[in-house]
Amino acid sequence: MYKFHTTIMLTIINLHLKNLLEFLTLSNTIIMFLALLPLICLLIITTKKASCKVYLVNFSCYKPPNSLQCSKELSMKLARQSGYFSEDLLDFMKKIYERNGIGDSAYVTEKCFGLIYDPSMKDARMEIETNIFSAVDMLLAKTGVRCDDIGILIVNCCIYNTMPSVCSMIVNRYKFRESIITYSLVGMGCSAGLRAIGLAKHLLQVNQNTYALIVSTESITENFYIGKDRSKILPNCMFRVGSAAILLSNRPSDHNNSKYQLLHAVHTNTSSSDRSYNCVQREEDNVGMIGITVTKDLVASAIATIKPNIAALGGKILPIKEQLLYIITYIARKLLPSVNIQPYQPNFCNAVDHFLPHVGGKMVLDGLQKSLGFSNIAMEASRMTLYRYGNTSSSSIWYELAYVEAKGRVKKGDRVWHIAFGSGFKCSSVIWHAMKTLDANDDDNNPWMDEISGFPVTLTDCDEQMPVYSYLPSEVD
């Protein structure tokens, strides 16, 4: 009987202990859950913001009046009549014009037509205002977006830096709201436009339900070099007038009325290298005249910066097959150094439908085409933009996109690769996904529409025996 009662008591105690342990376990779980709840909520919010989709609603490009067109022949005539340049420099300029891939219809500023070059701050400001306001006016008219709905403004202009800033100039003109977030990117060269896209992407992750306006431009008026330093002459012959305005959105309601969705933005910067840092600089010559120095190291620095950018981008967009072939070849070359195994060049044609590199010059485009294996048709937009508009710095990639749209080549689901590179040295790549098939006649303000039927034009092959950069110094004295 005693044993029976003892057994019953032990059973009851065990049940109580079991219930107690279950209660304590449940309590600990609840306590742990409550402790982790803020972290879980933060993770959910962060993930939600990180997955926020960014759309390119629309963009516009400024097309200057025909009165500002300047042919190569007229450029040489004006340079000779000015008396600023020696015969040696004039001969150098002529060679650049013959081989840089720019046609006779690109635009310069009014100050370039005068025999006396004496630009003022007022002249430069007038150029910037005309370029920017024309592009923004067209963009706002296209999209119908109210100024009050724009929460972010990013302007990039490499050289023109004034006070108040160019951002303030735009805010004042369009009376943007007081809480607008503004950034002015200066001194960042031709890659700054895509840098601005990357910055806007990050800002749109943490500022919900808003628009970001990006303006890419450059100033020519105050930056025409009239000295005797050959290394500063090249920009005179390459850079032309242009400007673009781009509207990005993170609003879900813009999914159906946007042209593109932003997929990837990859940036590389080799400014830590003295060679890259010094290859393009704005500075005074030995008599105090300001100009942009370009050295032979530009080509090597560009290659050293573009390569890692493309490698990083390839991991995001290349098909698995292409990535595996690259990795296998890389490992084989390491394990079998005595065997002559050629490095595998991934086929980016399988990853993107439209390749739109910055139009730095004919030699740059030739190098990119050869390295990446793109066809002449794939390079058409960049070559025609260089021919028609010249190097408009950070805005050139948008004239290229306008070209493929005007040709009616953008179809729903297409991938567009923008890549730009510039002083520093820096390189940026952006991948867009076309949200719809774009009708060539949808945009009356496309800068190509009234002449697209005449393109592409046949380009005369340049003399490859005379690379322009061979005339430049390898380093700055």
Helix (H) or strand (E) holding 265: strand 260-269
Name the one residue in this structure whose structure tokens are 């005693």: 2
pLDDT (tens digit per residue) in 285-301: 999 999 999 998 988 89
Report field, pTM of the whole predicted structure over 0.75? yes
Cis peptide bond N-terminal to 164, omega within 30: yes
Q: Which of residues 11 and 390 earns the better pLDDT score?
A: 390
Helix (H) or strand (E) holding 183: strand 181-185
Conformation bin of residue 458: beta by default, left when phi > 0, alpha when psi is -120 to 50? beta
* Confidence tier at 12 by pLDDT (50, 70, 90): low
Domains and CATH numbers, the chain: 55-471 (3.40.47.10)
Coil/strand/helix, residue 87: helix
287 exposed, middle or buried (CB, 10 Å; 0-12, 13-18, 19+)? exposed
End-to-end CA distance of the chain: 110
Number of residues that make up the chain: 477
Indicate if the pLDDT at residue 145 is higher than 60.
Answer: yes
Coil/strand/helix, residue 88: helix
pLDDT (tens digit per residue) in 55-79: 999 999 999 999 999 999 999 999 9
List the one residue out of 268, 297, 317 whose CA is nearest residue 420: 268
Indicate if the pLDDT at residue 211 is higher than 80.
Answer: yes
| DSSP state string for 416-468 | EEEEEEETTTEEEEEEEEESSPPPTTS-TT-TTTTTGGG-SPPPPPP-TT--G
Question: 1 Cβ partners below 8 Å, 6+ apart?
Answer: none
pLDDT (tens digit per residue) in 311-331: 999 999 999 999 899 889 989
